[in-house]
Amino acid sequence: MTRPARLIDLAAFVADGTPVDWDAARLGSAAPSGAALLARLRLVERVAQLHASLLLPDSAPLHESLLHSTDGRAAPAEPCTWGPLTILEKVGRGTFGDVYRALDPRLDRPVALKLLRRREPSADALETAVIDEGRLMARVRHPNVVTIFGAERIDGRVGLWMEFVDGPTLEDELKTKERFEPRGDRRWPRPVPRAERGTPGRGLAGRVVGTVVRYFCAVTVQAI
Q: Which of 79, 84, 94, 167 binds another protein (CB under 8 A)?
A: 94
Q: Which of 51, 73, 106, 197 binds another protein (CB under 8 A)?
A: 51
Please report, for residues 1, 34, 41, 181, the alpha-carbon distance to residue 15 in angstroms, rounded to integers and kept in the order given: 21, 19, 10, 39
- Residue 2 makes contact with another protein by CB under 8 A: no
Q: Which of 52, 93, 109, 202 binds another protein (CB under 8 A)?
A: 52
Q: Is 110 within 8 Å of 102 (Cβ atoms)?
A: yes
Maximum separation of any 2 CA atoms in the chain, in Å: 79
Q: Is 3 within 8 Å of 31 (Cβ atoms)?
A: yes
Annotate each residue in 158-187 with x if it binds another protein (CB under 8 A) or - if it does not, as one string. ------------x--xx--xxxx------x
Q: Which is nearer to another protein, 156 or 188 (CB)?
A: 188
- Residue 44 makes contact with another protein by CB under 8 A: yes
- Residue 188 makes contact with another protein by CB under 8 A: yes
- Residue 50 makes contact with another protein by CB under 8 A: yes
CA 214, 216, 219 angle in degrees (round to 5)? 120
Q: Is 162 within 8 Å of 147 (Cβ atoms)?
A: yes
Residue 75 to residue 90: CA distance in whole angstroms: 14
Q: Is 112 within 8 Å of 150 (Cβ atoms)?
A: no
Residue 91 to residue 161: CA distance in whole angstroms: 13
Q: Which residues bind another protein (CB under 8 A)?
A: 4, 7-9, 11-12, 14-16, 36-37, 39-41, 43-44, 46-52, 54-55, 59, 63, 66-67, 94-96, 119, 122-123, 125-126, 128-130, 132, 170, 173-174, 177-180, 187-188, 210-211, 216, 219-220, 223-224
